[in-house]
């Protein structure tokens, strides 16, 4: 039977310690012993959550009381901290392990609330038997502000990244509190932890109140003003210190919580810095313009949207923190041989070659455990695994993006190496940060004379602005990794400085067209949903503005776009689509101009303004025509590049030799073109068996990074093969004869190379004899990790015209040792000395001495070849005893 008298409360005082939650549960069960088991369990759960929150946050004496109200039970938990109220309105990820306490109360209770009085606060909840109707209730004001306040402004707070930072901060503090209650010393002083808990609670309350007053923007960012107590600056700095200590404990795996990823950590630091700095008299700094590393890209500025991945022309795959693929685009499907439906739900390891899977797991585990990354935002050369088992050379660029509830997504761009365009990689800062948009942005256009007179500025200033705009749009196409992304960047620039909307349509073969860029003016220039698509066929019946521009007419000035189209003016589906676009834009005036280059129309540019007080005028047409011509030249160059890239790719593949297969030697090679230069260059490697059975290995580098260098490289390699096979002379003599031939036939070509022979029977012993012409010395790595450079055989580079004996080096090769030939692109870095670069190669190679040769080479590329500005060629060989 129940020990409680209807209407009379039963109470129990409890100390502020973790055991109080269990004592409260036992007290409630004892008092409500005659009720159903379901109600008892609900009451125990509710009082446990409420007491747990009081212990964690209030840290004062607690009073628990139970009262019967008819067939309902009222639970009340009183503490002595009226300044800390519940925070019920926050959004929490459903898989988060903490932060659900009040949500549980709200789901189970028929009514709930909080009462705040002088020196005390009481949180109460009422429950009834199954089927009891719920009554409207809320938690009231989360946390009252006392004393003088200072208004802190947060400019461009990104919703999704903020939520990820909030979740991480909450989890770290929860584990610190659990550790403190359990007696574990994580290096945080109890007094600092108490201050951190309080100020974190208050920051959440300030932000929660401000967020509730500002709807979510399409850009995914909001600018907020927070009423912060003027004396809270020191407490915020204490919170930052405590979180940093928790991060360090998490990185050292002394906590179960994961440390923050770099972008989340950067936002958290910015948030604390803004609050403390502005309280100390500093000025607000927008999140979008602060420097940080790794630099967030466009994907990190807006909430996660799978449509962005599907719309990208760059092969892209997105996965969760558990490495489960959630989406991929058609370009990635074509590259990897999977359909999106087949790969979604599988592990990302499915597209990782087997020998790199341990490395992949290690890198991502390290990222999640330590929060420190060597892979985010970097272009790393490595192979991807095709469905049929082939390895596809790519450059991998991984960025993070966050859902609106704070969940992290990993977005991987798979850029084929042989089809790599010299450009910036995805993730660079966009032009919209340099040219912010907004209602107060002055357009460059409208009458130049009118603007100059209105402001009293010289016309030459307007001319310079227009010239800068033409230059910037041209550079946007040149710097982009693909044409589609470049045109979107053009649209972002134009909507930031010129128009409210920008639309770019491109013509394809057979009159087909595609709408590749549609951007409206906002802080981040996000594409407009549902507008980009394939256009209807461009037929002879089309006679609307877009059709006329695609025939070469224009630029065309359009006014009074509202209302119905006069009968007979919509002559084709293309006209209807363009008319629907204007309806969707809400445009008041627009200019449609052809994209014309080399007497060919490549597409059309549409610029629209929605404000009737600043329409486009006839004075703008000449400038828009110049602007469109510059864009068209960029499009034409990009397309010509795409055409020539296929030729370059075929040439490059034809220059890469097929490695021989020998029973006693493992041979592996890698070639990675520069990420910042042309597709082909002067680096080469070769490997062939001489008639007597010795293995000839060579690597070299012709000066230059263009087609001429590639041709000279091909000729040198062919001559070296012929000279080496003809007489099978020692390496020094072969290199001398190669130099003479090169000087006779190609006087202007200079190059470096290494030519070596691996000699010895199948069962061993083996020796490596080589001569180097101005090239970096081979590196010998024993099975035990000892390394040394074979520098004795180094002489003058090829092309000097000096006929002299070439030095030769002979060294015995221990079983399972590795000889590495390489070009300077693997090790050299701007601003770094050669000795330091070579020491780094020795260190990495020693760590990989026992790894399979494929792994050895790929790991060197991952560790040393990321974001390389030069070509990289590598040739590695390893003698293996027959019994091994």
The three-class DSSP label of residue 640 is helix
Query: Which residue in this structure is represented by tokens 């930052």?
Result: 240
Q: What is the DSSP letter of 662?
A: B
Tokens of 590: 């627009």
Strand partners, 505: 515, 604
- At residue 647, the pLDDT reads 64
Taking the mean position of all CA atoms in its chain, how far away is CA 191? 38
What is the β-pairing status of strands 665-672 and 872-879? Answer: antiparallel
pTM for this prediction: 0.56
DSSP string, 803-840: --PPP-EEEEE-TT-EEEEE-GGGT--TT--HHHHHHH
Please write the tens of the pLDDT for every residue from 104-159: 777 788 888 888 888 888 888 888 887 777 777 766 654 444 568 888 888 878 87
Residue 298 pLDDT class (50, 70, 90 cuts) = very low
The share of the chain scoring above pLDDT 70, in percent, equals: 78
The tally of CA atoms less than 13 A away on the side-chain side of residue 227 is: 8
Give ∠ CA 575-579-581 in degrees, rounded to 5.
120
Cβ–Cβ under 8 Å, residues 757 and 872:
no
To the nearest 10 degrees (0 to 180), the angle between helices 448-455 and 459-479 is 120
Strand partners, 591: 557, 607
Element (H, E) at 590: strand 589-597
Strand partners, 336: none
Whether residue 446 is predicted with pLDDT greater than 90 in this model: the reply is no
Query: Which residue in this structure is represented by tokens 């313009």?
Result: 289
Whether residue 565 is predicted with pLDDT greater than 50 in this model: the reply is no
The three-class DSSP label of residue 379 is strand
Tokens of 250: 């998490």
Q: Which CATH class is domain 656-879?
A: alpha beta
CATH number of 10-127: 3.30.565.10
In 3D space, the residue among 359, 439, 405 whose CA is nearest the CA of residue 165 turns out to be: 405
Of the two residues 667 and 673, the one the predictor is more confident about is 667
| Ranges 149-163, 174-188, 690-704: which has the least confidence | 174-188
**Could you give phi then psi for residue 310, rounded to 5 degrees?**
-65, -30
Instruction: Evaluate the CA torsion angle 48, 49, 50, 51 in order and state its sign.
Output: positive
Q: Do domains 303-419 and 431-643 have the same CATH topology?
A: yes
In 3D space, the residue among 27, 60, 61, 58 whose CA is nearest the CA of residue 43 turns out to be: 27
* Exposed e or buried b per residue across 622-637, where buried means at least 16 C-beta atoms within 10 angstroms of its C-beta: ebbbbbbbbbbbbbbe
CA distance 552 to 540: 14
| Ranges 441-450, 523-532, 740-749: which has the least confidence | 441-450
What is the β-pairing status of strands 325-328 and 120-127? Answer: unpaired
Maximal CA-CA distance, the chain: 112
Cβ–Cβ under 8 Å, residues 671 and 698:
no
- At residue 822, the pLDDT reads 95
Cβ–Cβ under 8 Å, residues 861 and 670:
yes
Taking the mean position of all CA atoms in its chain, how far away is CA 736? 50
Q: Residues with Cβ < 8 Å from 629, sequence gap 6 or more?
A: 595, 596, 597
Domain covering 431-643: architecture: 2-Layer Sandwich (3.30)
| Ranges 396-400, 568-572, 782-786: which has the least confidence | 568-572
CA distance 6 to 68: 5
Peptide bond into 428 cis (omega under 30): no
Give ∠ CA 530-404-169 in degrees, rounded to 5.
160
Please write the tens of the pLDDT for every residue from 355-386: 888 888 877 777 777 767 666 767 778 888 89
CA distance 4 to 751: 96
- At residue 7, the pLDDT reads 59
Q: What is the DSSP letter of 425?
A: P
Taking the mean position of all CA atoms in its chain, how far away is CA 432? 18
- At residue 778, the pLDDT reads 96
Strand order in the sheet with 513-520: 534-535, 513-520, 501-507, 600-609, 589-597, 556-559
CA distance 495 to 115: 51
Torsion of CA 789, 790, 794, 798, to 10 degrees: -80
Taking the mean position of all CA atoms in its chain, how far away is CA 335? 20
CA–CA distances in Å: residue 199 to residues 100, 143, 186, 202: 20, 11, 20, 5
Cβ–Cβ under 8 Å, residues 227 and 149:
yes
In 3D space, the residue among 375, 414, 419, 409 whose CA is nearest the CA of residue 867 turns out to be: 375
Element (H, E) at 635: helix 621-655
- Sorted by where each begins, the domain ranges of the chain are 10-127, 149-289, 303-419, 431-643, 656-879
Cβ–Cβ under 8 Å, residues 594 and 550:
yes
Q: What is the average pLDDT score of the chain?
A: 78
Residue 658 pLDDT class (50, 70, 90 cuts) = confident
CATH 3.30.450.20: does it fit domain 303-419? yes
- At residue 96, the pLDDT reads 41
Strand partners, 597: 600
């Amino acid at each position: 039977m129940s020990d409680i008298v209807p209407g009379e409360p039963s109470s129990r005082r409890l100390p502020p310690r973790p055991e109080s939650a269990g004592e409260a549960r036992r007290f409630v069960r004892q008092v409500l012993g005659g009720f159903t088991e379901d109600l008892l369990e609900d009451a125990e759960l509710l009082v446990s959550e409420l007491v747990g929150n009081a212990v964690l946050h209030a840290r004062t004496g607690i009073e628990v009381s139970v009262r019967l109200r008819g067939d309902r039970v009222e639970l009340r938990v009183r503490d002595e901290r009226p300044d800390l109220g519940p925070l019920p309105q926050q959004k929490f990820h459903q898989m988060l392990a903490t932060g659900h306490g009040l949500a549980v109360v709200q789901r189970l209770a028929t009514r709930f609330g909080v009462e705040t009085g002088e020196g005390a606060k009481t949180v109460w909840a009422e429950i009834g038997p199954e089927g009891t109707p719920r009554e409207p209730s809320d938690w009231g004001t989360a946390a009252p502000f006392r004393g003088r306040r200072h208004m802190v402004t947060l400019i461009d707070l990104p919703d999704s990244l903020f939520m990820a930072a909030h979740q991480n901060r909450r989890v770290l503090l929860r584990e610190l509190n659990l550790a403190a209650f359990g007696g574990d010393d994580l290096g945080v002083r109890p007094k600092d932890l108490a201050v951190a808990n309080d100020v974190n609670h208050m920051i959440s309350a300030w932000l929660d109140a401000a967020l509730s007053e500002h709807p979510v923007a399409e850009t995914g960012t909001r600018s907020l003003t927070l009423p912060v107590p003027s004396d809270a600056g020191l407490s915020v700095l204490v919170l930052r210190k405590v979180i940093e200590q928790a991060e360090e404990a998490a990185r050292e795996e002394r906590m179960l919580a994961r440390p923050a990823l770099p972008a989340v950590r950067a936002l958290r630091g910015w948030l604390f810095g803004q609050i403390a700095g502005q309280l100390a008299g500093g000025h607000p700094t927008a999140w979008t313009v602060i420097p940080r590393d790794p630099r967030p890209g466009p994907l990190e500025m807006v909430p996660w949207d799978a449509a962005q991945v599907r719309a990208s022309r760059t092969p892209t795959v997105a996965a969760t923190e558990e490495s489960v693929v959630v989406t991929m685009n058609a370009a990635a499907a074509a590259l990897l041989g999977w359909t999106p439906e087949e790969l979604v739900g599988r592990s990302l390891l499915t597209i990782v070659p087997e020998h790199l899977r341990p490395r992949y797991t290690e890198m991502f585990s390290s990222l999640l455990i330590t929060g420190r990354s060597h892979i985010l935002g970097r272009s790393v050369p490595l192979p991807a695994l095709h469905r049929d088992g082939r390895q596809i050379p790519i450059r991998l660029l991984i960025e993070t993006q966050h859902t609106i509830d704070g969940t992290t997504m990993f977005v991987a761009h798979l850029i084929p190496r042989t089809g790599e365009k010299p450009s910036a990689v995805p993730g660079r800062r966009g032009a919209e940060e340099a040219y912010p948009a907004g209602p107060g942005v002055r357009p460059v256009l409208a009458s130049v004379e009118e603007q100059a007179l209105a402001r009293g500025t010289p016309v030459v200033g307007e001319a310079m602005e227009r010239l800068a705009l033409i230059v910037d749009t041209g550079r946007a196409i040149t710097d982009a990794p693909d044409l589609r992304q470049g045109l979107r960047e053009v649209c972002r620039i134009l909507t930031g400085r010129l128009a409210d909307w920008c639309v770019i349509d491109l013509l394809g073969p057979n009159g087909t067209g595609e709408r590749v860029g549609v951007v409206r003016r906002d802080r981040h220039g996000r594409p407009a949903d549902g507008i980009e698509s394939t256009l209807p066929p461009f037929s002879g019946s089309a006679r609307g503005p877009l059709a006329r521009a695609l025939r070469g007419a224009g630029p065309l000035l359009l006014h009074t776009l509202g209302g119905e189209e006069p009968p007979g003016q919509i002559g084709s589906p293309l006209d209807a689509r363009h008319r629907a676009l204007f309806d969707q834009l809400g445009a008041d005036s627009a200019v449609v101009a052809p994209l014309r280059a080399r007497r060919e129309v490549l597409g059309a540019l549409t610029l629209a303004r929605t404000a009737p007080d600043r329409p486009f005028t006839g004075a703008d047409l000449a400038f828009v025509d110049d602007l469109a011509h510059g864009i068209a030249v960029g499009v034409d160059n990009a397309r010509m590049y795409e055409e020539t890239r296929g030729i370059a790719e075929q040439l490059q593949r034809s220059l890469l030799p097929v490695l021989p297969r020998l029973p006693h030697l493992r041979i592996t090679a890698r070639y990675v073109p520069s990420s910042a230069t042309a597709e082909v260059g002067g680096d080469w490697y070769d490997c062939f068996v001489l008639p007597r059975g010795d293995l000839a290995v060579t690597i070299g580098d012709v000066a230059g990074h263009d087609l001429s260098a590639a041709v000279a490289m091909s000729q040198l390699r062919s001559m070296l093969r012929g000279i080496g096979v003809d007489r099978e002379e020692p390496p020094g003599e072969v290199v001398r004869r190669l130099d003479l031939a090169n000087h006779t036939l190609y006087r202007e070509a200079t190059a470096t190379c290494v030519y070596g022979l691996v000699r010895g029977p199948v069962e061993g012993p083996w020796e490596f004899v080589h001569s180097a012409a101005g090239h970096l010395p081979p590196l010998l790595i024993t099975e035990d990790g000892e390394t040394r450079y074979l520098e004795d055989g180094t002489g003058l580079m090829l092309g000097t015209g000096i006929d002299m004996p070439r030095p030769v080096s002979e060294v015995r090769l221990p079983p399972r040792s590795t000889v590495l030939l390489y070009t300077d692109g693997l090790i050299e870095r701007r601003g770094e000395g050669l000795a330091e670069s070579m020491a780094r190669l020795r260190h990495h190679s020693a760590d990989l001495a026992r790894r399979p040769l494929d792994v050895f080479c790929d790991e060197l590329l991952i560790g040393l070849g990321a974001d390389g500005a030069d070509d990289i060629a590598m040739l590695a060989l390893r003698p293996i005893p027959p019994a091994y």
